[in-house]
Structure 1
Amino acid sequence: MSPLRLAADYLLYRARAFKLHGVHSPFIFDLYHNVLRHTGYFPAYTHVETLRLKLLQDNRQLKITDLGAGSKSLPSKQRKVKDIARTSAKPLKYGQLLFRLVNHFQPKTIFDLGTSLGITTSYLGEARKQAAIYTFEGCPNIAGVARENFRQLGLHHICLVEGNLDETLEQQLQQVQQLDFAFFDGNHRYAPTMRYFELCLARHHEQSVFVLDDIYWSGEMKRAWKEIKAHPQVMQTVDLFFIGIVFFRTTQPKEHFTLHF
């Protein structure tokens, strides 16, 4: 998507977005006040951001195997670690939001669909050290760096599943009874996004939380987000522009929220 189209979408989002006083659902009000807009400090923030700074200075060249939609800013098959860290990792604001979501909901089984260098995965791991965390990466060389990073942070409860997500996701889902939390960042195209969502949906439950990255990244992602919101098993969604959050709470009415973040 062109920068102008993305900017136009963002202006439309800002025009629709509510702040705290405009939210009437008690569940969403609490989530917005205590999680989304939380401004307190957690030591894990420093752990992961120190790792990010180290990676932003890492000049190692990696040969890239890209099985997803690819990088708009890094089309080369040879990339420096520091460039991947600069363009592929979620910014601090959103990595720390994912930390707070996991810290708040305390999921036992977490799937991270798109490891990259492991910065976002590390935020998930720091938030819930008692969880079983499965993160999926298609490029062996990037996966090797991510494993180094998990070891450095002592996140031994993270299992990195290497290979094509089209194959590994379904295989790993068969090994778990239920899926409490999932972050979808593995392929920014319509068909794979919907396929991964439907696969994970087979293991969801009433309290599951799914988070989708870059819901306005392209026309295909906008289409996927629209269809996910309309899915009969999806009950509540929160649009934060760069990410979308999905809930399945049947005890509450089906509602969609666009919140200022």
Structure 2
Amino acid sequence: MQITSTIDLLNKVPPLISYFKYWLEKEDKYSLQSPFLFTTYQNLFSFIKNRKEIDLEIEVFREQLLLSKEVIEVQDFGAGSKSVNTAKRKVSDITKYSTSNRKFAQLYQFFCTLTPAETVLELGTCTGISSRYLSTVTQGQLYSFEGCEEIARIAQPAKDFKNLSIITGELCKTLPTYLKNVKKVDFALIDATHTYEGTLNYFNQILEKTHSKSIIAIGDIHWSKGMEKAWQEIRNKPEVKLSLDFYECGILFFDFSGEKADYILDF
């Protein structure tokens, strides 16, 4: 028990240090010099404000999952969960600890709307909260990838969200197969495995299908030292013209009129 407690404490130290650094370096809209970035940042908050009464049925679905007593067998192909890392997990715990809150789900929605949003990918369906949010702004088809069949079953909408397709299976196999038949990717949310190797690999695969108006979001960029390393390497790639660090996620642009830039933003 003592060893487990010590390990848990050590696991929490790097994220705390990362957040303190983020808190010291983050900028608000008044310190932004780029007109494009200033406008985009303002529009993000306006978008969230204007959708205050929209997609509330998704939050009803979240509440149902949080109240669920169901326990499922989880196949974990990534770094696992810091809160519940057992084979059998409560649906309520998975939803509580492994899904994006409404604020960040809407952030993903907003950046998706800045693209043509005809082909949208989500790596890491989890219980389908972010999937539903992205579905409502996707103009074409949303393909969400989930490794665990039981979690995918929970996430699968019974009705509505007709442009959402959940692809089940180990991501290292399903993603390459899917990308072979796709000409372009407009928006992608990479929120799976949470490992350095996996995140970098998925990004590089999707990068080959991006265009100047594509945007890629990466979840939990400060989740671990490995994820921070992956984020640093990705944002330094020459194809990336602008990166935005919102602590819980990073946003990547491939078209920016100014010089290559990286920003840490308050959210």
1:2, distance to aligned residue in structure 2 (A): 2.7
Of residues 138, 149, 153, the one that matches 2:147 is 138
Q: Summarize deviations over 1:10-67 as a string: whole Å, max 9, x none.
A: 1211111111011111221111000156423354431211110111111111111111
Structure 2 residue 217 is the aligned partner of structure 1 residue 211: yes
Q: Structure 1 segments of 4 or more deviating over 4 A?
A: none
Question: TM-score, with normalisation over the residues of structure 1?
Answer: 0.94
Q: Tell me how many residue pairs correspond in the alignment.
A: 257
Determine the structure 1 residue equivalent to 2:99.
Answer: 89
Query: Secondary structure of 1:252's partner?
Result: coil
After TM superposition, the structure 1 stretch with the greater mean CA deviation from structure 2, 111-120 or 7-16, is: 7-16
The answer (yes or no) to whether the contact 1:178–1:205 under 8 Å persists in 2 is yes
Determine the structure 1 residue equivalent to 2:134.
Answer: 124
For the residues of structure 2 that align with 1:22 and 1:157, how far apart are their CA atoms? Answer: 39
After TM superposition, the structure 1 stretch with the greater mean CA deviation from structure 2, 92-101 or 241-250, is: 92-101
Of residues 47, 59, 65, the one that matches 1:49 is 59
Q: Summarize deviations over 1:97-134 as a string: whole Å, max 9, x none.
A: 11222234341110100001100111100122x32111
1:193, distance to aligned residue in structure 2 (A): 0.7
Change (3 A) 1:36 1:189: farther
Q: Summarize deviations over 1:82-106 as a string: whole Å, max 9, x none.
A: 1111111111221121122223434
Determine the structure 2 residue equivalent to 1:151.
Answer: 158
Structure 2 residue 242 is the aligned partner of structure 1 residue 236: yes
Q: Summarize deviations over 1:172-194 as a string: whole Å, max 9, x none.
A: 11121100000001111111111
1:229, distance to aligned residue in structure 2 (A): 1.3
The answer (yes or no) to whether the contact 2:216–2:252 under 8 Å persists in 1 is yes
1:158, distance to aligned residue in structure 2 (A): 0.8
After TM superposition, the structure 1 stretch with the greater mean CA deviation from structure 2, 40-49 or 243-252, is: 40-49
Task: Structure 2: state its 5+ residue gaps.
Answer: 1-9
For the residues of structure 1 that align with 2:186 and 2:45, how far apart are their CA atoms? Answer: 19
1:211, distance to aligned residue in structure 2 (A): 0.3
RMSD: 1.5
Letter in 1 for 2:198: P
Structure 2 residue 73 is the aligned partner of structure 1 residue 67: no
The answer (yes or no) to whether the contact 1:133–1:159 under 8 Å persists in 2 is yes
Matches within 5 A, 1:1-261: 2-36=11-45, 38-128=48-138, 130-147=139-156, 150-152=157-159, 154-249=160-255, 251-261=257-267
Question: TM-score, with normalisation over the residues of structure 2?
Answer: 0.92
Question: Could you tell me the percent identity over the aligned residues?
Answer: 32
After TM superposition, the structure 1 stretch with the greater mean CA deviation from structure 2, 31-40 or 164-173, is: 31-40
1:250, distance to aligned residue in structure 2 (A): 5.3
After TM superposition, the structure 1 stretch with the greater mean CA deviation from structure 2, 165-174 or 6-15, is: 6-15
Letter in 2 for 1:5: P
The answer (yes or no) to whether the contact 1:214–1:241 under 8 Å persists in 2 is yes
